[in-house]
Amino acid sequence: MSTAINKQVEIESLLKSFNLISFINNYQQYARLAEKEKLDYVSYLYQLAKVESEERHHRKTERLLKQSKLPPSKNLSEFDTNALANFPKTVLKELISGDCLDQAENVLIFGNPGTGKTHLAAGLGRQWCLSGRAVYFTSASALVQDLLVAKRDLKLNNFLAKLDKFQAVIIDDISYIPQNREETDVLFVLLADRYEHKRIVITSNLPFSQWDKIFKDTVTTGAAIDRLVHHSHILQLNGESYRAKTAGNVCVPETTLLNQNRIIVKLDDQQ
């Protein structure tokens, strides 16, 4: 085996040990390009480092999207805010950026069925994955069943620790009504576990005034709401279900209310 081949094998072995997969796949191609364009060593190394960074980001994004369990068809690009003349786009941009996750702020989305709550929550989750943040999407009913199974198997703490790996857990349709106190209890345990620790995104058809239907008693209901609204963004989507429409959309924005702890956005209609 020639010296050149020995060096190539050794280089690729070293790069593999450093987990520089893109370097292995591209170093020879970029070496030929550098020679052709008379690039210096620093420029050659920069190009390799750049492609390594880009491909690592792509692989990480693919992994985050896969583990998120997000609905594949819910993208913010299809969530029409342009039809809302006075829609506070700065609010949406702030949420898309993911700063709310970094600052331990929940996102609570309320509205009638079909007004776009799931679409918005899933679309935000997708954007957070694209920015390198880990999220997990689940329906409230499926989550409660998973929590019950974990509790039955004496693995509830392990399941909560697994969810702690996600910066945000998106719970879709918390309007699901638990059938017994055990279901209420495990759901509250999750909310309490993530309080001021990890973020929660919730969609609901029920306003807070009707959450006693979920948590059954006023004390638990108040404690759950208190944990969720502390450091939160609350979005209210009102209007006719877009699924029930047969023609164009009519949008009449209402008001935007800002205070120290939350942002409340009221929209008359949204897809």
CATH of the domain at 210: 3.40.50.300
> Quick check: helix, strand or coil at residue 198?
coil
Reported as a single tens digit per residue, the pLDDT across 39-56 is: 888 888 898 899 988 898
Q: Is the dihedral of CA 145, 236, 221, 156 positive or negative?
A: positive
The dihedral built from the CA positions of residue 124, 128, 130 and 136, taken in this order, carries a sign that is negative
Query: Within 10 Å of residue 98's Cβ, how many Cβ atoms?
Result: 21
Is residue 88 very low, low, confident or very high in pLDDT (cuts 50, 70, 90)? low
Any idea which of 16-25, 78-87, 93-102, 201-210 has the lowest mean pLDDT? 78-87
Stretch 194-200: mean pLDDT: 89
10 Å Cβ neighbour count for 160? 18
Question: What does pLDDT average to over the chain?
Answer: 81
Tell me the pLDDT band of 100, cut-offs 50, 70 and 90.
Answer: confident
The H or E element that residue 258 is part of is strand 256-258
**pLDDT exceeds cutoff 90 at 128:** yes
Is the pLDDT confidence value at 164 over 70?
A: yes
pTM of the model: 0.78
Structural domain boundaries enclosing 227: 69-267
**Start-to-end CA span in the chain (Å):** 65
Say which residue, 241 or 247, is predicted with more confidence: 241
Q: Of the candidates 16, 34, 67, which is a domain's last residue? A: 67
- Other CB atoms within 10 A of residue 45 CB: 15
Structural contact between residues 200 and 229, judged by C-beta atoms closer than 8 angstroms: no
- Do both 63 and 99 map to the same domain? no
pLDDT at 254: 34
pLDDT over threshold 90, residue 184: no
Cα–Cα distances (Å) from 50 to 3, 59, 102, 222, 232, in that order, read 29, 14, 26, 51, 37
Least confident among 102-106, 189-193, 213-217, 235-239: 235-239
Residues 32, 79 within the same domain: no
Alpha carbon distance 88, 263 (integer Å): 11
**Judgement on whether residues 49 and 142 belong to the same structural domain of the protein:** no
| Same domain membership, residue 49 and residue 104 | no
Q: What is the mean pLDDT of residues 3-16?
A: 80
Same domain, yes or no: 52 and 169: no
Looking at the fold, whether 47 and 73 belong to one and the same domain comes out as: no
- Amino acid (one-letter) located at 220: T
- Is 200 in the same domain as 121? yes
pLDDT at 140: 93
Number of domain units in the chain: 2
Which residues, 6+ apart, have CB-to-CB distance to 195 below 8 Å? 227, 230
The SS3 assignment for 170 reads strand
Whether 61 and 99 map to the same domain: the answer is no
Check pLDDT > 80 for residue 183. yes
For 74, other C-beta atoms within 10 Å of its C-beta total 19
Q: Which of 67, 88, 103 is the last residue of a domain?
A: 67
